[in-house]
Structure formats: structure tokens, C-alpha cells
């Protein structure tokens, strides 16, 4: 063989080798990532570890095999259904990060078959959990037993294949358990739905591409975490800059991240989130809904100031599943229209046009200023006025060159709640904007703004003074109002407030990472207290807080044995006097 031919053959051989390696080291689309995965492949090897019929319900715990990336995983599952049920709709219920499987009994009572499974793996002293083989130990969420892989391998090298990630395995497991669910004798496999909480919500975005699923509900999990949240690439950074992505981030974002799956979704998709939830990336998350294929139903509801809670919007879940899995005649309004514009005086206004306005019970609006970080943003209540079929609320600003953000929730007569799009604008770019908002020393007056405090109800104390009472003695109450420019503490300020309490209580006041134990004395009249910054001790350093100026959060909870619900608070404000404390300030 002459040297020219030999060299050509060598080049061809090297090219073929390179071609075989390249697809696993460059970004792949979701279609490419899942081209060779079959959730029905392989024997389930079912092992029942518990089985009982009690109170008219059949319950079972079992292990099945999931075959992923050439490995066998023993998946722990729970199953519950009314005894003797036939052709029942199936629901896959998926837990969150470091969570455990649990049956949603409300759905069982309503006639659903419910299946749940563990994907957390080994942690703590759980008797039953999913068993990952050594090659997939990274799928154990507990770092003691594994530690998840996303964009980097454990030795901090970029991934070269989306199937190296823990999330790929968890996606595959959820579809495998779906196969297990649909083959149960009680199940109508034409009526299957799923809901996932927190990281379980994350799994919904890939599961929703499985044509067997008719509808999903994702709580909080929506993607946009890798790169975007983790590197603080906020959508409304000003100026906006995207740092270079690592090869691992490129691969993850293209074929593994939940947001990559939206164009491939076929299931009706509902997203429930809190505006300040660390996981449910607010405005980035809502960008996902611009990627849906035409004809695929979607909706979202955002709870203002919500932190992993949806107590004001969670009723949407069952109605959504009943509409799109059970095919019930459930009213669901079309998506509302909204925008930020300047009024005749140059003040920004949010304008909302609701679908089916005749069925609207109320419209709630909120707005925030400047802060591009969604989970530390402070939302203020907006008083909105109905003008025909349109609702309008003013959003005064302090600086016309800073962003103003807004959204609204529309509450319908069926209790359905839907949110508008996330609206953002720089007022000066809308026209001749005018700054009319001013800083104030008053944090809470009793004349509105109670929504900025969690777990509270407005009450009226002696003398007709309006205040609020905490409604949750375990969680306490708090506000993030202090991070808003309007209520930010002036230099050398102290925190003052009124309180009414007829039985002495001891409370823990927490501001950011500092705490103070406060004695609430008893009286038949309102009392006043003023708290200097040096009253508070840093939990980590044990140093005293120097100033209130950069404080963002305030939280109040009872000391063990105390009852915060017996205290009425009013007139939180910044006290600018430097005079020493008096006897009227009972804790100083």
C-alpha cells in the first residue's frame, strides 16, 4: 500500500472516530437526548414490600426496576386507590428536593388512582428509598451518599453528555413510573395526569412531553436555575450582560434544562409559583410560556410575596386536572392582557384587560421598583380602579430611569386565579415620565399595606387604632418591605412601633442575620417601643448590628411558650430622634 493511500485511510479512520465522539460532546436538542429511551423497556421485576386494604382503599408499597443509561435502578413506589375501582384516572404525584413520596389522599377520595415514587435516594434513616447503583450514586440527593451532577462532574470538569446529569436520570425514572402506573388494573390509561412540588415541579416539564400525559401541574419548579439564577444573570439587570457559558452549561441548557422542553410539550400545563420563591424563577420562568406550541393549553398563577407557598392560588390545581384529564366542563378564562403605560400626569400605570370580565370577582395588583433579583424584590399593593372592562392601578416611582415592575391576579367567581404577564418598563423610555413617589419613615400605618406582612389579619385596637395580629403562632410574621427604597431606613434611625397586649409575651425579632429577644409587657392601653440597631446580635459573629440602613427583612416569632397571636402591632416607623430611651420603651 503506498503512503498516500495509507495516510488517507488514517485520516478517514480518525474522522470516523471523531464523528462518533462529537455528538456526545456538543449540545443536543431534547429530541436527540431522548431518541433512544423507551420507558417501557425491561421487566419491572416488581417486589411488593407492603400491601393492605383499609377503610375502603387499597394501598401498596413496591420496588420496580428502571433501566437508565445501561444501569438498573430499584425505584421505591407507593400506590393507593379505592378498593374495587375500575377505569379510574391516574395521577402521578412527585415530591420535591430531599423529599419523600407521599399519597395525596384528596385525589384518592375523589376517585383517582394515585402513584408516587422516591427519587431522592439514600438519606437519613428511611426504611424504604430508591436504590441507585454505584455508577449512578450521584442521583442520591444527599451529598453524604452522592450529590447531584448538573453542568459539572464531581471533579469539576464540564459534562460532555446530557446523560451524565442526575436530572436526566430523574426525568427517565418519572416516565418509567408512569409506565408502571398505566399498567395497573384499576387505571384508565387514556386519563393520566401528574403534579410535582418544588423540584418535582421541575420534572413536570420533561414529563409533559410524554404523549400519555394529558395534563401536568408544576409547583415552583420551572427551570432557569443553571447559569441564569446561579450566576445572577437576571433578566432586568441594568445594564444586561450575559457572561460566557461553560461547555457543560451549553450542553445542560440545550438538552436537560426544563425550559428546553417547552416547545415539545403536548400536555396542558399549569404553573403555580410565588413571586419571591427561590426556585420558581419569576420573570425568567414566565418567559417559558412564549415557547409553547400553538394549541397546547397553559396557564399560570403567581402568589404575590409567596415563598414556596400557594395557599391563595393552589385551588387551581384540581380544577386544571379535572378539566384536562377528566374532561369536565370546568370554566377556565383566557389569558389576560396587561401593560405598563404613563397616564396624563406622567405617572406609570398598570392596565389590565381580563378575559370574561363579567365573571371577575376581584383584581389584585402589585408593583416593585428597580431590584432585578426576583426573590429579594419588595412588592407593594396597588389600589386598582375598574374602568369598563379594564382595571388600572398607579405605580408611582422615585426615579424615572429605574425599572418599575408589575403584575396582577384576576380572581374569578369559580375561585380560579390567573396572573397577568410580568410587566417591566423604564418610565423615562415610555414618554415624559414624572417621579412622584417619596421616601417615608412610616412602614405600616394601619391604612393598608397589610399585604406586605405574611400570616396577619388586620384588626382595630383600643382607641380605634388600626393594626394587625399574627395568625400563625408557629411561623410568626414578617415583611421584606425594608429593602424597598420607599421604606429604607435613614441613617441613625431606630425602629419604632406600637403594640397592644394584655398578657406578657416574649418574642424573637429577626432582621436579616441578626436576632433580639424582646419582652412585650402587658397593659390595657397601647404601648410604644423603639429598638436601636445595637439591640440585635449577629448569629454567626455574635457582633452587635451597627445600623438599620441596609436591612432588608424583619421577622417576628414567639419564643418557646409565648403566643404572638395575642399581640396587636401598629405604626411601624423609623424614629429619627437620638434621645435616650424612656420608661415608655419597656425593653430598653
Place 14 in a pLDDT band, splitting at 50, 70 and 90. very low
280 plus 346 within the same structural domain: no
Place 171 in a pLDDT band, splitting at 50, 70 and 90. very high
Lowest mean pLDDT among 29-38, 335-344, 441-450, 468-477: 441-450
The residue to which cell 423540584 is assigned = 199
Alpha-helical runs (H) found in 461-502: none
**Residue 481, pLDDT score:** 77
Q: Which three cell numbers stand for residue 210?
A: 410524554
Average pLDDT, the chain: 91
Residue ending a domain, choose from 275, 292, 324:
324
Closest CA to 366 of 354, 380, 376: 380
Cis peptide before 219 (omega within 30 of 0): no
Query: Please, are residues 195 and 219 in contact by the beta-carbon 8 Å criterion?
Result: yes
Place 347 in a pLDDT band, splitting at 50, 70 and 90. very high
- pLDDT higher for 549 or 171? 171
Q: How far apart are the C-alpha atoms of 296 and 268, rounded to whole Å? A: 6
231 belongs to a structural domain: yes
183 plus 306 within the same structural domain: yes
Q: How far apart are the C-alpha atoms of 588 and 585, rounded to whole Å? A: 6
297 belongs to a structural domain: yes
**Residue 585, pLDDT score:** 36
Instruction: Identify the CATH number of the domain in which residue 168 sits.
Output: 3.40.50.1820
- pLDDT higher for 571 or 29? 29
pLDDT for residue 78 is more than 60: yes
72 plus 186 within the same structural domain: yes
Place 582 in a pLDDT band, splitting at 50, 70 and 90. very low
Lowest mean pLDDT among 6-20, 233-247, 322-336, 523-537: 6-20
Residue ending a domain, choose from 277, 292, 324:
324
Place 443 in a pLDDT band, splitting at 50, 70 and 90. confident
pLDDT for residue 281 is more than 70: yes
Per-residue pLDDT averaged across 558-580, rounded?
Answer: 86
The residue to which cell 416488581 is assigned = 46
CA–chain centroid gap for 235, Å, is: 17
82 belongs to a structural domain: yes
Query: Please, are residues 493 and 575 in contact by the beta-carbon 8 Å criterion?
Result: yes
114 belongs to a structural domain: yes
270 plus 398 within the same structural domain: no
Structure letter (DSSP) for residue 2: -
pLDDT for residue 237 is more than 70: yes
What is the Rg, in whole angstroms, of the alpha carbon atoms belonging to the chain?
28
Instruction: Identify the CATH number of the domain in which residue 369 sits.
Output: 2.60.40.10
- Measured between alpha carbons, how far is residue 65 from residues 70, 77, 177 in Å? 12, 11, 9
7 belongs to a structural domain: no
pLDDT for residue 511 is more than 80: yes
Place 6 in a pLDDT band, splitting at 50, 70 and 90. very low
Instruction: Identify the CATH number of the domain in which residue 518 sits.
Output: 2.60.120.430
pLDDT for residue 377 is more than 90: no
3-state secondary structure 142-203: CCCCCCCCCCECCCCCECCCHHHCHHHHHHHHHHHHHHHHHCCCCEEEEEEEEEEEEHHHHH
378 plus 315 within the same structural domain: no
State what percent of residues in the chain have pLDDT above 70.
92
**Residue 557, pLDDT score:** 96
141 plus 213 within the same structural domain: yes
Q: Which helix (H) or strand (E) holds 251?
A: helix 247-255
Name 430's Cβ contacts closer than 8 Å, sequence gap at least 6. Answer: 340, 341, 342, 348
Place 5 in a pLDDT band, splitting at 50, 70 and 90. very low
68 plus 205 within the same structural domain: yes
164 belongs to a structural domain: yes
213 plus 320 within the same structural domain: yes
Structure letter (DSSP) for residue 544: B
Q: Which three cell numbers stand for residue 421?
A: 404577564
244 plus 379 within the same structural domain: no
**Residue 540, pLDDT score:** 94
Show the domain range for 414.
Answer: 337-429
318 plus 342 within the same structural domain: no
Place 1 in a pLDDT band, splitting at 50, 70 and 90. very low
Q: Per the structure, how many domains does the chain have? A: 3
Amino acid at each position: 500500500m503506498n503512503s498516500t493511500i495509507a495516510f488517507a485511510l488514517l485520516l478517514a479512520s480518525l474522522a470516523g472516530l471523531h464523528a462518533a465522539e462529537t455528538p456526545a460532546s456538543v449540545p443536543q436538542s431534547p429530541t436527540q437526548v431522548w431518541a433512544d429511551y423507551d420507558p417501557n423497556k425491561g421487566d419491572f421485576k416488581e417486589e411488593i414490600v407492603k400491601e393492605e386494604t383499609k377503610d375502603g382503599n387499597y394501598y401498596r408499597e413496591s420496588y420496580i426496576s428502571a433501566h437508565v443509561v445501561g444501569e438498573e435502578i430499584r425505584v421505591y413506589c407507593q400506590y393507593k386507590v379505592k378498593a374495587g375501582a375500575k377505569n379510574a384516572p391516574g395521577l402521578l404525584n412527585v415530591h420535591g428536593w430531599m423529599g419523600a413520596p407521599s399519597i395525596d389522599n384528596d385525589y384518592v377520595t375523589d376517585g383517582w388512582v394515585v402513584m408516587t415514587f422516591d427519587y431522592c435516594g439514600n438519606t437519613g434513616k428511611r426504611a424504604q428509598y430508591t436504590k441507585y447503583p454505584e455508577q449512578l450514586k450521584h442521583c442520591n440527593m444527599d451529598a453524604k451518599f452522592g450529590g447531584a451532577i448538573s453542568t459539572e462532574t464531581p471533579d469539576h470538569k464540564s459534562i460532555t453528555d446530557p446523560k451524565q446529569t442526575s436530572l436526566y436520570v430523574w426525568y427517565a425514572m418519572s416516565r418509567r413510573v408512569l409506565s408502571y402506573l398505566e399498567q395497573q388494573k384499576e387505571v384508565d390509561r387514556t386519563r393520566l395526569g401528574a403534579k410535582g412540588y418544588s423540584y418535582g415541579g421541575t420534572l413536570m416539564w420533561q414529563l409533559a412531553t410524554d404523549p400519555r400525559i394529558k395534563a401536568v401541574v408544576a409547583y415552583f419548579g420551572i427551570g432557569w436555575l443553571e447559569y441564569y439564577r446561579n450566576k445572577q444573570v437576571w433578566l432586568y439587570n441594568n445594564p444586561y450582560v450575559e457572561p460566557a457559558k461553560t461547555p457543560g452549561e451549553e450542553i445542560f441548557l440545550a438538552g436537560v434544562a426544563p425550559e428546553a422542553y417547552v416547545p415539545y410539550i403536548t400536555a396542558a400545563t399549569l404553573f403555580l409559583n410565588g413571586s419571591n420563591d427561590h426556585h420558581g424563577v419569576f420573570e425568567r420562568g414566565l418567559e417559558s410560556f412564549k415557547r409553547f406550541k400553538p394549541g397546547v393549553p397553559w396557564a399560570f398563577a403567581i402568589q404575590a410575596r409567596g415563598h414556596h407557598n400557594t395557599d391563595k392560588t393552589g385551588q387551581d390545581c384540581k380544577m386544571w386536572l379535572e378539566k384536562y384529564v377528566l374532561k369536565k366542563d370546568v370554566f377556565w378564562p383566557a389569558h389576560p392582557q396587561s401593560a405598563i403605560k404613563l397616564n396624563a400626569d406622567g405617572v406609570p400605570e398598570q392596565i389590565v384587560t381580563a378575559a370574561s370580565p363579567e365573571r371577575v370577582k376581584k383584581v389584585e395588583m402589585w408593583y416593585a421598583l428597580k431590584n432585578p433579583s426576583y426573590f429579594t424584590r419588595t412588592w407593594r399593593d396597588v389600589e386598582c380602579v375598574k374602568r369598563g372592562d379594564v382595571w388600572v392601578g398607579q405605580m408611582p416611582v422615585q426615579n424615572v430611569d429605574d425599572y418599575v415592575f408589575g403584575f396582577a391576579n384576576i380572581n374569578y367567581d369559580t375561585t380560579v386565579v390567573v396572573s397577568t404577564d410580568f410587566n417591566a418598563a423604564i418610565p423615562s423610555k415610555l414618554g415624559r415620565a414624572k417621579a412622584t413617589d417619596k421616601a417615608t419613615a412610616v412602614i405600616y400605618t394601619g391604612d393598608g399595606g397589610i399585604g406586605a406582612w405574611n400570616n396577619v389579619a388586620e384588626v382595630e385596637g383600643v382607641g380605634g387604632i388600626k393594626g394587625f395580629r399574627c395568625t400563625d403562632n408557629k411561623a410568626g410574621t414578617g415583611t421584606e418591605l425594608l429593602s424597598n427604597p420607599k421604606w429604607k431606613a435613614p441613617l441613625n434611625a431606630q425602629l419604632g412601633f406600637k403594640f397592644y397586649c394584655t398578657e406578657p409575651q416574649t418574642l424573637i425579632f429577626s432582621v436579616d442575620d441578626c436576632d433580639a429577644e424582646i419582652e412585650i409587657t402587658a397593659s390595657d392601653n397601647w404601648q410604644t417601643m423603639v429598638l436601636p440597631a445595637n439591640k440585635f446580635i449577629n448569629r454567626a459573629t455574635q457582633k452587635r448590628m451597627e445600623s438599620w440602613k441596609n436591612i432588608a427583612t424583619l421577622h417576628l416569632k414567639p419564643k418557646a411558650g409565648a403566643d404572638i397571636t395575642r399581640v396587636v402591632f401598629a405604626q411601624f416607623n423609623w424614629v429619627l430622634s437620638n434621645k435616650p430611651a424612656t420608661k415608655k420603651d419597656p425593653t430598653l
